[in-house]
């Protein structure tokens, strides 16, 4: 094989790898997340779902009967916070675990007089 052909083959292989990597990164950035809760102790969440219907079904299925969907969106990470004494809850999603946790914690603490909320779940699509 001549140098020119080897170079062309190497460039072609590099382009194919780049397309695969970019496609995988886009898939991670455009995944669905969801959180469902009954407003009490039960909650369920979904992360990394291909469709909104799959995210909703997963979160609702994990939570159980009597639960309602409180968050549905496109994100990489999701979190759920709950206050023990106040029975308040919060949900958040974002590009990072910390971002989702902060949003969920702040959402929960808006519903109670003191900072009594804690993060119960936080997960990212890897």
Query: What residue spans of 30-120 are helical by DSSP H?
Result: 52-63, 97-109
- Give the number of C-alpha atoms closer than 13 A to the C-alpha of residue 125, restricted to the C-beta side: 25
State the pTM of this model: 0.75
70 within 8 A of 93, measured Cβ to Cβ: no
pLDDT tens digits for 14-66? 444 433 333 433 444 579 999 999 988 899 999 999 999 999 999 999 999 99
pLDDT tens digits for 86-122? 679 999 999 999 999 999 999 999 988 778 899 999 9
pLDDT value, residue 104: 97
- Nearest to 91, CA basis, from 51, 30, 58, 44: 44
Cβ-defined contacts of 100-103 (< 8 Å, 24+): 100/75, 100/124, 103/79
The sign of the CA dihedral 58, 59, 62, 64 is: negative
pLDDT value, residue 15: 42
Give the residue extent of every domain in the chain: 1-30, 31-124
Residue 5 or residue 95, greater confidence: 95
């Amino acid at each position: 094989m001549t140098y020119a052909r080897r170079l062309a083959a190497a460039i072609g292989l590099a382009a194919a790898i780049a397309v695969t990597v970019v496609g995988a990164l886009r898939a991670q950035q455009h995944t669905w997340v969801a959180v469902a809760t009954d407003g009490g102790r039960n909650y369920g969440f979904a992360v990394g779902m291909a469709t909104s219907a799959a995210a909703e079904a997963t979160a609702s299925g994990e939570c159980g009967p009597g639960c309602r969907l409180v968050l549905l969106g496109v994100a990489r990470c999701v979190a759920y916070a709950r206050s023990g004494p106040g029975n308040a809850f919060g949900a958040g999603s974002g590009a990072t675990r910390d971002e989702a946790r902060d949003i969920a914690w702040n959402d929960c603490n808006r519903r109670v007089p003191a900072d009594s909320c804690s993060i119960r779940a936080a997960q990212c699509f890897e």
